[in-house]
Amino acid sequence: MKHIRERGFGLALIRLILILVVLSLIQGSSFNTQAQSGGALGYGSKVYGVISASAPLVTYSFTGQQGDYVVMTADSWTGTLDVQLEFVAPNGVVLDRSTQNTPAGEALGAHLAVFLPESGIYVLRLSGEHATTGDYLLSVLGRAAATATPLVYGQAVDVIIPAGAAAQFFAFEAEDCPTTLVVSDPSEGQPFTFRFIVKVRDQRGQTVALLRGGEQLEDWVTVEALSGRYEVEALAEEPALSGSIRLLVTCADDNPGCTPTGQSGAAVCAPCPPIDELVPGGGCPDLHFTAVQDPAVPNWVTVTWDLMPGADGYAVYVTGLIEGGGETYLTHADWVPGDPTRFTWILPAVGYTGFNFSLRVLVDDVVICTQEAHVDMGTPAPDCPDMGLTAAMTDAAVHALTLGWTPGLDADQFDLDIYSIMDGSETYSGRLILPGDASEYAFDHFPPELDAVRFVLWMWKDGRLCSEEITVVFTQPPDQQGGGPCAIRADREGVPVRVGPGASRSIFAFLNPGIEYTVAGQAIGEDGNPWWQIDKTQFAGHEGVISLWVAQADVAEVGDCSQVPQTDIPGVIPIPDDQPGGWLPCGSCDSCGHPANECVTSPEGLCLWDPTTCQNFNPNPPGGDQTCYAVYAVIDMGNCSGGGSAMLDTVPNCRSTLYTPGTLIQAHAVAVDSKCRVRSWTGCGASGSGASISFIPPGTCTVVAHMGY
Write out pLDDT tens, residues 101-151: 544 445 677 888 888 988 888 989 888 887 888 888 888 888 888 889 999
- Strands across the sheet containing 400-404: 390-395, 400-404, 440-443
Specify the range with the lowest mean pLDDT, choosing from 156-160, 309-313, 388-392, 425-429.
425-429
The SS3 call for residue 253 is helix
> How are beta strands 120-128 and 83-88 bridged, if at all?
antiparallel
CB–CB of 35/438 below 8 Å?
Answer: no
pLDDT digits (tens, 9 = 90+) for 37-59: 677 888 888 888 888 888 888 88
Model confidence band, residue 26 (pLDDT cutoffs 50, 70, 90): very low
> The CATH number of 149-254 is which of 3.50.50.60, 3.30.70.360, 3.30.1490.190, 2.60.120.380?
2.60.120.380
Exposed, middle or buried by CB within 10 Å (0-12, 13-18, 19+), for 262?
Answer: exposed
Return the CATH fold of 2-16+380-478.
Immunoglobulin-like (2.60.40)
Residue scoring higher pLDDT (243 or 263): 243
Specify the range with the lowest mean pLDDT, choosing from 73-77, 171-175, 472-476.
472-476
In the chain, where does the domain assigned CATH 2.60.120.380 lie? Answer: 32-143, 149-254
Q: What is the 3-state secondary structure (H, E, C) of 664-689?
A: CEEEEEEECCCCCEEEEEECCCCCCC
d(CA 531, CA 563): 15
pLDDT for 18 equals 32
Q: How far is CA 409 from CA 417, 468, 636, in A?
A: 19, 14, 48
pLDDT for 357 equals 92
pLDDT beyond 50 at 24: no
Return the CATH fold of 299-376.
Immunoglobulin-like (2.60.40)
d(CA 31, CA 13): 34
Sign of torsion, CA 24 25 31 34? positive
SS3 content of the chain, % helix, strand, coil (to 5): 5, 45, 50
pLDDT for 267 equals 44
Average pLDDT over residues 678-693: 78
In the chain, where does the domain assigned CATH 2.30.30 lie? Answer: 482-572
> The CATH number of 482-572 is which of 3.40.50, 1.10.10, 2.30.30, 2.60.40?
2.30.30
pLDDT beyond 80 at 551: yes
CB–CB of 662/690 below 8 Å?
Answer: no
Model confidence band, residue 584 (pLDDT cutoffs 50, 70, 90): confident
Return the CATH fold of 32-143.
Jelly Rolls (2.60.120)
Closest CA to 8 of 470, 404, 393, 497: 393
Measure CA 260 to chain center. Answer: 56
Exposed, middle or buried by CB within 10 Å (0-12, 13-18, 19+), for 296?
Answer: exposed
CB–CB of 657/628 below 8 Å?
Answer: no
Measure CA 101 to chain center. Answer: 31
